[in-house]
Structure 1
Amino acid sequence: MADDQNTLDTPLSYDEIIDTRGLRVPFVQNIITPNIEKPLRNGRYEAGELRHLQSLLKPDDRLLDLGGGLGLVAATASKLTPEGEILSVEAHPGLLPMIREVWRLNNVDNAELKHGLIANTAGAAAKFYARTDFWASSAEPHSRPFVDEYDVETLGLDALIHAFRPTIISCDIEGAEEALFDGLDLSGVRAIVLETHPKVYGVQARDTLLDTLKVKGLAARPQPRPTTVYVLERYPDWPPQNPRTLLATCMKDEGPFILEWLAWHKAIGITDIVVFSNDCTDGTDALLDHLDARGDLTHLPNPASQFGSGYFQPSALNYVQTMPVFRAADFMLSIDVDEFVNIRTPEGTLQSLLARVPPFDVLSISELNHGSNDQTSFRPGWVTDQFPAHASPHPGRWRAKVGVKSLTRLSDRIEKVRNHRPDLAVPPEDAIWLNGSGKPITALAEDATENGLDSRGARDLVSLEHFALRSIDSFLVKAWRGDVVIKGKQVSNAYFRRRNRDSHREMDLSKGQSLARLVYAEFEQDAELMKRHDACNKAHQDRIDALNADPAYRARRAEIVNIAAEQKTPPPAKGTDGDIQSS
């Protein structure tokens, strides 16, 4: 493509080519000074901007590159936009031949270069101040000494946008971006990669700039760490209205607890529920079959059972991701029947949660364990009524890390959904991963084996209420049944000890309960459904009675009761051995 020529262009002299991030760059020593050379050689120069563009660009995109620099942005974009075009604007006259040479070495054939300063609208020629390090050159003379000055034409961004019609803008113009986008029509722009310079114009002006772009529909991606480079994207469908959210789970002998859990999650806005069951003895499968016939959920046999595998949960999650309901979903969540998603907004719904967080790939919800609440015997009824007390929601550092379950936004950025968190199809640094307070986090993205999170300050908007124990008798049924995830895995006394925390009552469950009772009231109108529910309650109690007739289980029950009593006993006073001290 044709580009501007400039009489200040001078022939380049170099005898080495540097390879950086797959690009060839001539080592011109008066341009690539030591401050630039090292990061260029190790691939760190402009790495953030280039990585962001690689995650954004599509083959037919039109990139407007404001601040061409060495030409690396355009050269990278050229490889990613074979059907698109690139317009690069650079104010420094000494860089124009360098850009052209970089483009020649990298076979860039879909880019145009313009020489000029960038302003909101076109104006008279203005001074440009060149400095020893080209990246420090700018249109302001006061920040540091300059070695030369030039009169450079001022190009209007309004005219460039109108003529070129960019879909993506990359902007790094050393502070001139402060009021650059004011009043401009950016409706055709899908994303901007913006280098801000608060040292030039201040933090308040930077925030005003970001707010200006947000009003124009371009919202900054959440940043887990302080940065000067922002990716602003247009999310025309955020928050999505009436999203389809898929919940997948496995069940075995959970009959007494299904209807409350189902009512709760339907009430908060879960639209599609798929339940896989195996080896049920308490009527769980019959209850699920009736709910399937009613259209409340989809009930399937666990595929692991069909193929002789003991990996029940992994098999089920793999299978559900082949189903049409998965392809139709906007979000997916994998939780167990003893886990309740407690949305802490005034409305208590999934829709209200989405409205309070920025667009994300993953939102990981920290569990909060509810102990046995001094309940030894099984009583039919709602677990959220019977077991309201829980572990501290503000733990110290040593108990802060807890398990998570993740609300995953389904897109080509996600490779696979797993029980606690998904696998990513994008580099970890490009993922938008939030905690339950809507704050950006990095730990789970950076470590694909990590399933837990520091829960401090992570439950402001949503928490995962985990009723892993229920009563002691129900816990013993769970221990008899075995783990629902992997066949043969046992539930130990240590499991009870770790989760029997019920010294706090700060978490409010009332909004979820009030919504769920409306759904549950409709369930109660179905006589056959309630008959099957009652049969599950009876089967659960019968199992408890049978276990308590077994001397081994009676002994274990006594052990659990003792553990619970010990946990209620205050620790000895500091400086004593626990004995009562005489006065």
Structure 2
Amino acid sequence: MLRKLLSRAKISKLGLRTPQPAPDRQGIAIAAIVRNEARFIEEWVRFHHAVGVRHFVIYDDASTDATREILRDVLPAEALTIVPWAQRLSDIRLGREIHNQVLAYAHAAGNFGPHFRWMAFVDVDEFLVPTASDTLPQSLEALGDIPNVSLPWHMFGFSGHETPPEGGVLENYRMRVRDPMSDAPGIRAFKMLVDPCRLTALRVHSMETDGTSETWNDAGTKASIEAREKPEFYSTAAVQLNHYYTRSKADLEAKISRGPNLVAKTDQYRRKVMRTVNSIEAETVEDTRARDLARKLGLIA
């Protein structure tokens, strides 16, 4: 019975031997795992490169479309590393699946982290939008040497689109959940920016630095991982994390059909996704911050 129960659990947290910083480390890198993102990845990399991301470490999960070619066309060679990442690993003794995304993040921090002050671990439907200035490095400068920042999701829904509209995500999807710190299903969650040379343990949504679970918001306020769930932790003083969860209704159906990163979660996936969608669409507010910055930077007309 114990073995059966354990087999249903995934290995989703990994410890990491802290990498030693390179003498000239600087700037921000993004690590992301992707699969068949040709429709969306050009806008995503152009935006993040324009706001100051120095390097992209892209873990390609067996894409069969033009994702890799687009990345190589859009980014200079020195700003891009593509790592093949199609494996599925498990603890063979108990049959516990090892979270492929967490493995990618750990690999990125351990192998590429020494060259960067900050590393972000986000998906292609997530945009890091600087708010204190037009670039991420300038926006984060006031935070000094803190080791990590927890960024709350700002969850965007359909914005009225049944099918994919002409133009990009930032231009067309402007309606998000009103309260990013709501306790409605699927709304309140975080991704993290970390100093990879102080990273000691990681999951997809929570990471530990210096061997502790202390975290900071982007205004420099410290809290425990548990306390970041409280409304008073919320801030967009330096960076706003936009999560374009659904895009159009047709895009959402395609997302559900692709299934989750973890095979063991396939049966539960549609129910989980739709609970989140219902929470987003229940009460929305217009948010044009990302679109306006993209226009200012000349990325959209």
1:388 is matched with which residue: 156, 163, 174? Answer: 174
* Larger RCO (CA under 8 A, 6+ residues apart): 2
Matched, 1:453 2:229: yes
Counterparts in 2 of 1:525-544, with a 5 A limit? none
Which amino acid letter does the alignment assign opposite residue 256 of structure 1?
R
Amino acid at match of 1:368: H
User: Which residue of 2 is the match for residue 312 of structure 1?
Assistant: 100
Quick one: which of 456, 474, 480 aligns to 2:257? 480
Native 8 Å contact 2:56 2:80 kept in 1: yes
Inter-partner Cα distance in structure 2 for 1:453 and 1:443: 8
Separation of aligned partners in 2, 1:316 and 1:367: 21
CA distance in 1, matches of 2:212, 2:181: 32
1:268 aligns with 2:51: yes
TM-score (norm 1): 0.41
1:378 equivalent to 2:164? Answer yes
Aligned ranges for residues 347-426 of structure 1 at < 5 Å? 347-393=133-179, 402-411=188-197, 413-426=198-211
Q: Which amino acid aligns with 2:210?
A: A
Q: Measure the CA separation in 1 of the matches of 2:182 and 2:114.
A: 41
Q: CA deviation at 1:303?
A: 5.5
How many residues align? The count is 267
Q: Is the 8 A contact 1:303 1:316 kept in 2?
A: no
Q: CA deviation at 1:285?
A: 3.5
Correspondence list, 1:146-161, <5 A: none
**Is the Cα contact below 8 Å between 1:312 and 1:487 reproduced in 2?**
no
Task: Say if 2:36 and 2:66, in contact at 8 Å, map to a contact too.
Answer: yes
Rg larger in structure:
1
Work out whether 1:498 is the aligned partner of 2:283.
Answer: no
**Alpha-carbon displacement from aligned partner over 1:62-94 (angstroms, at most 9, x marks no partner):** xxxxxxxxxxxxxxxxxxxxxxxxxxxxxxxxx
Q: Which residue of 2 is the match for residue 512 of structure 1? A: 293
Relative distance call for 1:381 and 1:497 in structure 2 (3 A) is farther
- CA distance, structure 2, for counterparts of residue 356 and residue 406 of structure 1: 17
Query: Unpaired runs of 5+ in structure 1?
Result: 1-240, 447-451, 522-583
% identity of equivalent residues: 19
Residue in structure 1 matched with residue 12 of structure 2 by the alignment: none
So what's the TM-score if we normalise by structure 2? 0.76
C-alpha distance in structure 2 between counterparts of 1:401 and 1:475, whole Å: 16
Written as runs of structure 1 = structure 2, the 5 A alignment for 1:148-227 is: none
Q: Residues 333 and 408 of structure 1 are in contact (CA less than 8 Å); yes or no, is this contact kept in structure 2?
A: yes
**RMSD of the alignment, in Å?**
3.3
- Name structure 2 gaps, 5 residues minimum: 1-23
Can you list the C-alpha shifts for 1:109-162, whole angstroms capped at 9, x where unaligned? xxxxxxxxxxxxxxxxxxxxxxxxxxxxxxxxxxxxxxxxxxxxxxxxxxxxxx
Alignment equivalent of 1:440, drawn from 217, 222, 244: 222
Correspondence list, 1:211-360, <5 A: 243-291=26-74, 294-302=77-85, 304=87, 311-323=99-111, 325-345=112-132, 347-360=133-146
**Alpha-carbon spacing, 1:393–1:496, altered in 2? closer, same or farther (3 Å):** same
Other structure's SS at 2:103 match: helix
Contact 1:404 1:453 in 2 (8 A): no
